Amino acid sequence: MSGGSETSGMPAEITVGEALNLALHDALAADPNVFLLGEDIGDEQGGGILGVTRGLSTTFGKARVRATPISEQAIIGAGIGAALAGFRPVAEIMLMNFVTVAMDMLVNHAAKLRFMSGGQTGVPLVVRTMTGSGFGNGGQHSDYLEAWFAHVPGMKVVSYSNPADAYGLLLASIRDDDPTLFIENLGSYALKGPAPQRGVPTPLGKAAIVRPGDDVTIISYSTMVLRALAAADSLARQNISCEVIDLRTIAPYDLPTLVASVGRTRRAVIVHEAVRKFGVGAEIAADLAGRFHGELKAPIVRLGGNYSAVPFSKPLESAYAPGPKQIEEAVLAMIAEHSDGL
């Protein structure tokens, strides 16, 4: 880091939890129209169940870091109304499965009010939510439901795979004029990585090439990016070079970056934790297949969660979402079966 006044005192590496806390802190400090609301987010309640908002209500006051009743419709509704009046609320829905009880507010109102009002009103609301399998939380606390929101015109859907992006993308989401669903990974909060530059947002709609490569493009987002990177490491030892792309913004996603990459590698694997059927991968696969018909060395492969609820029993839960091994096998299979070699 270059050590300007904004970055002084910042360690070279921080965790995702620290990055998110820092982004919320910086957004609250920079713009009086930003405020937070959600269940248990105040310091009196512990600063969020995983401590993401810890310290913020003490610093910025309970009016701006506002603990709410367990009332998801009312939380999102309050966020929408305040956003219509010019605020930039950041609402926390503790777990992604709980957005189900606020779907009317998100799908019928937050996403559509700009269009239905002919552009007179907009809803610059961020909904932070977390999810992820692997923690024994069972079927109602672990789902990735991003495809629902990516499917609604007017919503942006954002996720991260490292602390710097967690910071920059959250800052960008708060500054964005559209309603944004910001997905946090339950297992990511302790993940360490290079610190971001304070106050600098990561642009929405731009994917990141997190590992360059020539033979196969692996497209992923959220926690699955780490599994894709692990698979790419292993494949590199077998002289197979994978390009790993982190979408970062799921909707609208960065098609030009995907097209440029797949245009070179002519092989694509899409990996997400959400159930594979009708998932985001299907949309991306169809977009790429439409552009590269007849030019691909192998059919596009989609890897995703099993067609079931997230199971509790450990061996079942471990087998639910694609792991590095499945990604590696998928790449090897597409190279072995569908091409005349690298």
Partner 1 sequence: MQNALRKIDGCVLSSILESALRIRCNDELIRESARSGRLNIIYYSPRGQEIIPSAISELLTDDDYICTIYRGIHDQIAKGVPPKLIWAEYAGRLTGSCKGKGGPMHITYPEKGVMVTTGIVGSSLPIANGLALASQLRGDGRVTVAYFGDGASNIGAFHESLNMASVWKLPVIFVCQNNRYAEHSRFDEFTAGESVARRGDAYGMHAVAVDGNDAEATWHTARAAIDRARSGDGPTLIEANTFRFEGHLLGDDSAYIPRQEMEAAKAADPVPRLRADVIGRGILTEAQVVELERKIRREAEEAREFALTSDWPSLDELSCDVLANSSEVVQ
Catalytic residues: 72, 141
Closest CB to partner 1 among residues 286, 342: 286
Exactly one of 31, 177, 286, 336 binds partner 1 (CB under 8 A); which one? Answer: 177
Residue 117 CB, nearest approach to partner 1 (Å):
4
Exactly one of 3, 9, 86, 341 binds partner 1 (CB under 8 A); which one? Answer: 86
User: Which range in 116-124, 209-217, 291-299, 332-340 contacts partner 1 by CB under 8 A?
Assistant: 116-124
270 binds partner 1 (CB under 8 A): no
Binding mask 133-172 for partner 1 (x = CB under 8 A): --------------------xx-x----------------
**302 — phi, psi (to 5°)?**
-115, 130
What is the DSSP track for 218-251?
EEE-TTHHHHHHHHHHHHHTTT--EEEEE-SEEE
Whether the CB-CB separation of 20 and 167 falls below 8 Å is answered with yes
28 binds partner 1 (CB under 8 A): no
Taking the C-alpha atoms of residue 155 and residue 189, their distance in angstroms, rounded to an integer, is 25
User: Hey, which bits of 98-186 come out as E strands?
Assistant: 126-131, 156-159, 180-185
214 binds partner 1 (CB under 8 A): no
Q: Under 8 Å CB-to-CB from 281, ≥6 apart: which residues?
A: 270, 271, 272, 302, 303, 304
335 binds partner 1 (CB under 8 A): no
218 binds partner 1 (CB under 8 A): no
3-class secondary structure, 24: helix
117 binds partner 1 (CB under 8 A): yes
Distance of CA 119 to the CA centre of its chain: 27
Residue 173 CB, nearest approach to partner 1 (Å):
13
CA 230-283-256 angle, to 5 degrees, is 75
Other beta carbons within 10 angstroms of residue 65's beta carbon come to 25
Residues engaged in binding partner 1 (CB under 8 A): 35, 63-64, 68-69, 71-74, 76-87, 89, 101, 104-105, 108-109, 113-122, 124, 153-154, 156, 176-178, 205, 252-253, 255
